[in-house]
């Protein structure tokens, strides 16, 4: 335990009293690995080692090169972090904001509950991390997501009193991640939690401006520090018309230090890393607002090209707004405000690209569609999957008509590819190919 600072040991010896030795002993153990299964995917699998009382959750590791990962059927996320999405549990049709979303664990979990209804705005202030977030959202195959790359303050100017639920897994001192990411210990000192709490209050001020009356705020951190947890809860209760919603304590979760409605996860009690979660209901007055809906900006030729592709290849009629950005076609959720002043990392579901006299479907479209929504599909074997993900073409029946087909592995989409004279051309994104 020499890697823990003396200030940290002193702090949690006082806080945990008789439980402190068991708590400190967990830092000599390995971090717990787990994953969630994506209920939006058409073809499901049975996995061993289900986590009790948790939706879609299993202990274990997932290979980044497995068909299950590449098609978005599974998402790696440790158990304590999974509890944030489960506590949030948005209802279908809600407008939801994930305010500090990268790499995408909370967002994909929220999308599992929304089931392609409502809207999720998934925000990440770091442009580098927002690219990873987009990749994970895309793989998950949801259709109702806008990914923004903004400060909370800028978002608050565009989305006043807009969201039915806001989830903030706040930037924090990261104590709960020490086992999983030992480098997090290097920047911890006794003053660090207080500095983090100042930033958390700033972000929450913007979040409260975006919450609709009757809406929910789920606040979480991956730390045990009271300065960033219970003291933030006290500040919210004192400054805003909010009430705590009691969280069910499962799998070894314990009550917060001063608020029994909140939940803490310690690794000596809960099989996972460290987390704190609080859920609030906002009872304040709504800010008057008007949301102007956008209009499709496709040219007549672009509209004809998209309709021709859809008629030849799809059985689904998308609801939402078709918008072109450059030569890229996106499907946006209905009911979004004017986004012209927002930095956007992903406008919505990327449908494809307009080229000279033709439309080419995107990888994302092929990931999201089920067999019932496409007219032509080719299921490939696991051996062919490795060849295809490496960038090779595949041989198929010469009797197959020329054109676009959804490629699938184990029943789930893997993008679109073109069949020409018995060859399945490779359309797997170059940046994702196996080496």
Phi, psi of 321 (to 5 degrees): -115, 125
User: Is 105 annotated among the ligand-binding residues?
Assistant: yes
Catalytic residue, chosen from 70, 125, 156, 222, is 222
Contacts of 230 (CB under 8 A, 6+ apart): 256, 257, 258, 259, 262
User: Is 106 annotated among the ligand-binding residues?
Assistant: yes
User: Is 48 annotated among the ligand-binding residues?
Assistant: no
User: Is 124 annotated among the ligand-binding residues?
Assistant: yes
Distance between CA 195 and CA 192 in Å, rounded? 5
Contacts of 15 (CB under 8 A, 6+ apart): 224, 226, 257
User: Is 408 annotated among the ligand-binding residues?
Assistant: no
The answer to whether residues 298 and 325 touch, using CB atoms and an 8 Å cutoff, is no
The answer to whether residues 219 and 282 touch, using CB atoms and an 8 Å cutoff, is no
> Sign of the C-alpha dihedral, residues 109, 335, 122, 359?
positive
User: Is 22 annotated among the ligand-binding residues?
Assistant: no
* Sequence-ordered strand ranges (E) for 333-410: 344-346, 349-355, 358-361, 377-380, 394-395, 403-409
User: Is 417 annotated among the ligand-binding residues?
Assistant: no
End-to-end CA distance of the chain: 38
User: Is 160 annotated among the ligand-binding residues?
Assistant: no
Nearest to 56 by CA among 40, 33, 32, 42: 40
User: Has 196 been annotated as catalytic?
Assistant: no
What is the DSSP code string of 294-321? ------HHHHHHHHHHHHHHB-----SE
User: Is 90 annotated among the ligand-binding residues?
Assistant: no
Distance between CA 127 and CA 216 in Å, rounded? 27
Show binding-site residues. 100-106, 124, 169
User: Which residues are known to be catalytic?
Assistant: 222
Show binding-site residues for S-adenosyl-L-methionine. 100-106, 124, 169
């Amino acid at each position: 335990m020499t890697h823990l600072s003396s200030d940290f040991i002193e702090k949690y010896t006082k806080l945990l009293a008789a439980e402190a030795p068991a708590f400190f002993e967990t830092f000599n153990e390995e971090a717990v690995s787990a994953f969630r299964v994506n209920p939006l995917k058409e073809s499901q699998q049975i996995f061993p080692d289900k986590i009790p009382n948790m939706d879609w959750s299993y202990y274990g590791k997932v290979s980044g090169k497995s068909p299950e990962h590449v098609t978005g059927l599974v998402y790696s996320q440790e158990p304590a972090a999974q509890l944030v999405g489960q506590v949030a549990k948005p209802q279908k049709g809600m407008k939801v904001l994930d305010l500090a979303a990268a790499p995408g664990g909370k967002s994909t979990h929220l999308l599992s509950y929304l089931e392609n209804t409502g809207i999720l705005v998934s925000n990440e202030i770091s442009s580098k991390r927002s690219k990873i977030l987009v990749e994970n959202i895309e793989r998950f195959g949801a259709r109702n997501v806008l990914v923004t790359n903004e400060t909370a303050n800028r978002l608050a100017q565009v989305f006043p009193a807009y969201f039915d639920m806001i989830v903030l897994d706040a930037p924090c001192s990261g104590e709960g991640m020490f086992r999983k990411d030992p480098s997090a210990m290097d920047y911890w000192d006794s003053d660090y939690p207080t500095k983090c709490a100042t930033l958390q209050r700033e972000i929450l001020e913007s979040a409260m401006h975006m919450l609709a009356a009757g809406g929910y705020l789920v606040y979480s951190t991956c730390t045990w520090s009271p300065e960033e947890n219970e003291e933030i809860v006290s500040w919210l209760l004192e400054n805003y018309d909010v009430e705590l919603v009691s969280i069910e304590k499962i799998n070894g979760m314990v009550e917060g230090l001063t608020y029994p409605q909140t939940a803490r996860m310690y690794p000596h009690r809960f099989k996972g890393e460290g987390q704190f979660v609080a859920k609030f209901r906002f009872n304040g007055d709504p800010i008057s607002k008007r949301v102007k809906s956008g209009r499709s900006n496709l040219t007549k030729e672009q509209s004809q090209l998209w309709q021709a592709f859809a008629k030849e290849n799809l059985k689904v009629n998308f609801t939402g707004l078709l918008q072109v950005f450059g030569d890229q076609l996106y499907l946006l959720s209905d009911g979004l405000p004017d986004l012209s002043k927002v930095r956007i990392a992903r406008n919505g579901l990327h449908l494809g690209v307009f080229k000279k006299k033709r439309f080419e479907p995107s990888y994302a479209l092929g990931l999201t569609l089920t067999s019932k929504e496409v007219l032509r599909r080719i299921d490939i074997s696991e051996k062919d999957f490795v060849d295809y993900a490496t960038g090779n073409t595949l041989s198929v029946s010469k009797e197959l008509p020329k054109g676009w087909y959804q490629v699938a592995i184990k029943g789930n989409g893997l993008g679109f590819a073109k069949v020409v004279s018995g060859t399945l051309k490779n359309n797997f994104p170059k940046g994702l190919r196996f080496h």
